[in-house]
Amino acid sequence: MEIGCGDGALLAQLHGMAGVLDGFELSAPAAALARRAVPGARRIEAYDGEHVPAEDGAYDLAILSHVLEHVPVPLPLLAEAGRVAPWVLVEVPLERNRSAARPAKRAEAARIGHLHAFDRADVHALVAAAGLRMEAELTDPLPYPHHAFFAATAPARAGAAAKWAVRAAAHRLAPRAAERLFTVHYAALTRRRDPTMCG
């Protein structure tokens, strides 16, 4: 089950990997798009952004992919994910770093609705406060297509390639130091601390 499923792109990628796919989305028009994108889903619908309309432990896995940075108060939503599933996968950009602290970068993050700039410690604290524990973590220094997305000319594409190469190398050699210098994608697989307890 995905909370904040948007237009269904992630659920569509998961089609065939799970017996049941459900999605909940704040935007009713986006939920309608997701229903068309994932015809095999059992249930995709708009919800109030706070309470997932499902019983305690209704799912094996809840996914929050690029959602928590957009939520005014992330903790209740993360706890809600832990209520409906014993396993919760969280994905956020780690934006508490030198590069992302520049005024132009903060303005761009605000423009796309990022209300929080997380680092790894922030996510760990949220996970613990939500009654979850860390099981696995993964970081990625943003792939070349991300850096080249708006690169319309050959020099711009060359610059994007150089930026990607430097960041990928820095992340490979010293991933924790890289997190303090520039934004990386971060995913955490978490589990409810007491699987017999819900809510």
The mean per-residue pLDDT over the stretch 11-27 comes to 91
Beta bridge partners of 192: 132
Please name each of the domains of the chain with its CATH number. Answer: 54-141+184-192 (3.40.50.150)
Best CA proximity match to 93, nearest among 134, 146, 46, 144: 146
Tokens of 104: 């132009």
Best CA proximity match to 10, nearest among 59, 75, 47, 64: 64
The backbone region for 16, taken as left when phi is positive above 0, alpha when psi lies in -120 to 50, beta otherwise, is left
Note the pLDDT of residue 196: 60
Q: How far apart are CA 138 and CA 150, in angstroms?
A: 26
- Asked whether the predicted pLDDT for residue 199 surpasses 80, the reply is no
Tell me if the pTM is above 0.75: yes
Angle CA 168–172–173, to nearest 5: 120
Q: How far apart are CA 15 and CA 41, in angstroms?
A: 8
Angle CA 197–198–199, to nearest 5: 125
Tokens of 96: 């508490």
Best CA proximity match to 59, nearest among 26, 31, 82: 82
Confidence at 18, pLDDT banded by 50, 70, 90: confident
The mean per-residue pLDDT over the stretch 17-43 comes to 92
- Asked whether the predicted pLDDT for residue 12 surpasses 90, the reply is yes
